[in-house]
Amino acid sequence: MNVLVAKTANDAERIAYTLIKERISGKHDFVLGLATGSTPVGMYQMFKQDALDCSHVTSVNLDEYIGLSPEHPQSYNRFMKDRLFDEVPFKQSHLPKGDASDPEAEAARYEGLVRTLGVDLQLLGIGENGHIAFNEPGTALDAKTHVTELTESTREANRRFFDRLEDVPTHAITMGLDTIMNAREIVLVAIGERKAEAVQHMIESVPTVDWPATILQAHPGVTVVLDEAAVSRC
Ligand code: GLP
């Protein structure tokens, strides 16, 4: 695990963005795994400011809430359109369909798609409880894309995007830990003091299902980019 510590959040975003830009540029075809949440927003802003050419890049997102249509303002489909895709054209972009009539079948379809495409680089954030994508504590290390029930702490952490806690979906479709580990390269970005405990476990704990991000220690191509606040417990 290659750990880079930047002075500020903006510096961390710049480092991660530059790394992604280097990987994408000059390639004929590239499959980029993207993430949602507040962490990647600054990086997506940099994609836009740079007018980064992504016309040869296929994107696959990590997850989507179950029960929200792609047009729903809080869906991850909509998030990606508003934050990135409307301004930066990609060759193709994929997210799970949160309003699929059979979520289990949709998870299986998405797993097949991600495996077939093969992710060159996966961008990740981290939840306060150490989740990656929506792989909550206790998720099997060999999990494929699946339907998951969100923990109360994750719903609470994400309620800031919704009017009320009751509006935060209870379930999601998420790439599994094994799906994520199959990416050739992984870049995880964590910013701020509220991520410090999860970051400490990710880097220092023996791999455990209690802190899902610890699985990344076993991947040969992981870069973790942190600001000073996120590393304050290490
Ligand atoms: C959600 C997403 C994760 C993301 C996490 C942290 O739970 N499913 O992919 O890493 O939020 O979000 P934030 O960056 O807003 O702290």
Q: What are phi and psi for residue 176, nearest 5 degrees?
A: -85, 175
Q: Which domain holds residue 148?
A: 2-227
The DSSP bridge partners found for residue 177 are none
Q: Is 82 a catalytic residue?
A: no
Q: Please tell me the distance from the alpha carbon of residue 168 to that of residue 158, in angstroms, as a whole number.
A: 7
Farthest CA pair distance, the chain? 46
DSSP character at residue 212: G
Helix (H) or strand (E) holding 93: strand 90-94
pTM: 0.98
Is position 44 within any domain? yes
| Domain membership flag for residue 233 | no
CATH number at residue 145: 3.40.50.1360
Which residues make beta-bridge pairs with 33?
60, 122
Place of tokens 């973790």: 224
- Please state the atom number of ligand 1 nearest to the C-alpha of residue 134: 8
Judge if ipTM > 0.95: yes
> Do the domain assignments include residue 97?
yes
Do 170 and 134 touch, CB atoms closer than 8 A? Answer: no
pLDDT at 139: 97
Residue 26 has pLDDT above 90, yes or no: no
| 127 close to ligand 1 (CB < 6 Angstrom) | yes
Residue whose CB lies within 8 A of the most ligand 1 atoms, among 34, 39, 43, 225, for a mutation test: 39
Token representation of residue 208: 């455990």
The CA–CA distances, whole Å, from 51 to 46, 86, 88, 174 equal 8, 12, 7, 29
- Across residues 33-43, what is the average pLDDT? 98
Query: Hey, whose CA ends up nearest to atom 5 of ligand 1?
Result: 127
Q: Which residue's CA is the nearest one to ligand 1's atom 12?
A: 37
Q: Does any domain span residue 232?
A: no
pLDDT of residue 123: 98
Structural domains counted in the chain? 1
Nearest CA residue ID for atom 8, ligand 1? 133
Burial of 104 (0-12, 13-18, 19+ CB in 10 A): exposed
Task: Look at residue 215 and tell me if it is in a domain.
Answer: yes
Interval 144-175: pLDDT, tens: 999 999 999 999 999 999 999 999 999 999 99
Q: Is 127 a domain residue?
A: yes
